[in-house]
């Protein structure tokens, strides 16, 4: 029997992010988390979205690290397309000097 695939498509982008940056997608309604790496255009589209994620679920979209940002979107019409815009560097996180 073939493995079921999700019909949900989720993507996020930021003009500030570059290849290698990560965006975290957390389903706040049903639980679960997927992470996607950004391409050279700052776009991240996870290819392993659980098939339990459906329209109406609330999803937290998070960037952590050099840039910190998050937003919550609702899956509608089979997906989410989120533009995080231009992000500012996180200057509030205290660095540890070893």
Report pTM: 0.83
Annotated domain spans of the chain: 9-83
The rounded distance, in Å, linking the Cα atoms of 80 and 46 is 11
Q: How many other C-beta atoms are found inside a 10 Å radius of the C-beta of residue 20?
A: 9
Q: How confident is the prediction along the chain (98 residues), in pLDDT tens digits per residue?
A: 445 445 889 999 999 998 889 999 999 999 999 999 999 999 999 988 998 999 999 999 999 878 889 999 999 999 999 999 988 887 776 555 55
Convert 68-94 into a string of H (helix), E (strand) and C (coil). CEEEEEECECCEEEEECCCCCECCCCC
Q: Which CATH superfamily is domain 9-83 in?
A: Immunoglobulins (2.60.40.10)
């Amino acid at each position: 029997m073939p493995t079921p695939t999700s019909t949900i498509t989720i993507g996020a982008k930021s003009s500030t992010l570059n290849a290698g940056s990560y965006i975290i997608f957390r389903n706040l309604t049903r639980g679960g988390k997927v992470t996607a790496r950004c391409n050279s255009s700052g776009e991240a589209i996870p290819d392993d979205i659980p098939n339990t994620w459906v329209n109406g679920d609330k999803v937290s979209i998070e960037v952590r690290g050099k840039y910190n940002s998050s937003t919550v979107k609702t899956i509608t019409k089979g997906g989410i397309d989120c533009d995080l815009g231009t992000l500012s560097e996180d200057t509030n996180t205290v660095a540890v000097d070893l």
